[in-house]
């Protein structure tokens, strides 16, 4: 790259102008508005975005972030495979609203058409990627499925049709998504749910694909229990099986040095909500 062009790119005024042009080109293709206060590019491999948001034409915010920092691995990338050294997200917010008759706010904003019946159709999916280090601080995630949120769940039980997770702090390393499989090392994870449940500490090796979620070498401390497990797995045939946890989720575990309070299980299986039995597993 010519020296003059490189120097020009380093000017904050040019970076903000270039970012605004990118935003304008994207806004022409969506039903919403993108706001970005500031963009900084350092040495061509690090991008910092401050105070950005995506808002639908109805005024509802889909996503927002106080600060997003991405450090790329430009020289390690292979065709068809994205790679980043580090991603930092601070003061983030994601609000996914789903209506069975109208679709989601995400689909509406990005003009995503329903998948046709044609079985040869290949839906859009995430590209294969790897990130060496991911840090998320003070994130808030909402998922509201209005079409299925018809049964009132007792306080203390997870409502799968209306997640409201906040104070999310996560550190992941060696994160990789390839061939529709996600793996990573969870160094630390804490969060709270509006139902009153709290994950106070979690670290584990993590694996997820279309039929299983698995934690290896797990340590978990939540509102009621302290769990150590060589592995903890949840098998399913489709994502919606989580709505019928007791009958459709196949759970496997190898616990040790664990105090398991059934109120922890009751968070996910309401029939066990008031069961205060504790199991000591050595």
The DSSP code for 263 is H
pLDDT surpassing 60 at residue 219: yes
* pLDDT of 27 above 60: yes
Residues 276 and 267: their CA atoms lie apart, in Å, by 12
CA of 253: how far to CAs of 91, 154, 210, in Å? 34, 27, 19
Identify the DSSP state of 15. H
Phi, psi of 27 (to 5 degrees): -60, -30
Question: For residue 121, what pLDDT is reported?
Answer: 47
pLDDT band at 126 (very low <50, low <70, confident <90, very high): confident
Position 19 pLDDT exceeds 80: no
3-class SS of residue 203: strand
Over the chain, what is the mean pLDDT? 87
Q: How confident is the model at residue 13 (pLDDT cuts 50, 70, 90)?
A: low
Q: Looking at residue 141, what is its pLDDT?
A: 97
* pTM score of the predicted model: 0.85
Per residue in 35-78, pLDDT tens? Answer: 999 888 887 788 999 999 999 998 999 999 999 999 987 666 67
Instruction: Give residue 115's pLDDT band: very low, low, confident or very high (50, 70, 90).
Output: low
For the segment 142-153, what is each residue's pLDDT rounded down to a tens digit?
999 887 766 677
pLDDT digits (tens, 9 = 90+) for 228-269: 999 999 999 876 666 666 678 899 999 999 999 999 988 988
If you write DSSP's letter for every residue of 74-142 in order, what string do you get? GGG-BTTEEEEEEEEEEEEEEEEEEETTTEEHHHHHTTPPPPPS-TT-----PPEEEEEEEEEEEEEEE
């Amino acid at each position: 790259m010519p020296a003059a062009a490189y120097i020009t790119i380093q000017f904050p005024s040019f970076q903000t102008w270039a970012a605004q042009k990118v935003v304008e080109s994207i806004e022409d293709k969506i039903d919403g508005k993108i706001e970005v206060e500031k963009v900084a590019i350092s040495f061509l491999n690090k991008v910092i975005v401050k105070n950005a948001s995506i808002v639908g034409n109805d005024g509802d915010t889909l996503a927002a972030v106080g600060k997003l920092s991405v450090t790329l691995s430009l020289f390690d990338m292979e065709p068809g495979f994205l790679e980043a050294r580090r991603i930092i997200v601070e003061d983030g917010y994601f609000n996914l609203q789903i209506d069975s008759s109208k679709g989601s706010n995400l689909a509406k904003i990005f003009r995503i058409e329903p998948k046709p019946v044609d079985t040869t159709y290949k839906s859009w999916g995430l590209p294969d990627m790897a990130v060496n280090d991911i840090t998320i601080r003070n994130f808030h995630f909402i998922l509201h499925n209005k079409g299925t949120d018809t049964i009132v769940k007792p306080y203390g039980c997870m409502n799968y049709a209306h997640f409201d997770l906040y104070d999310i702090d996560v550190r992941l390393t060696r994160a990789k998504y390839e061939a529709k499989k996600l793996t990573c090392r969870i160094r630390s994870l804490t969060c709270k749910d509006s139902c009153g449940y709290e994950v106070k500490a979690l670290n584990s090796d993590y694996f997820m694909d279309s039929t299983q979620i698995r934690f290896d070498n797990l340590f978990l401390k939540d509102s009621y229990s302290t769990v150590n497990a060589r592995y903890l797995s949840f098998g399913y045939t489709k994502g919606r099986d989580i709505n019928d946890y007791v009958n459709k989720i196949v759970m496997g575990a190898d616990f040790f040095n664990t105090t398991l309070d059934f109120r922890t299980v009751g968070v996910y299986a309401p029939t066990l909500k008031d069961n205060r039995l504790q199991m000591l597993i050595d």
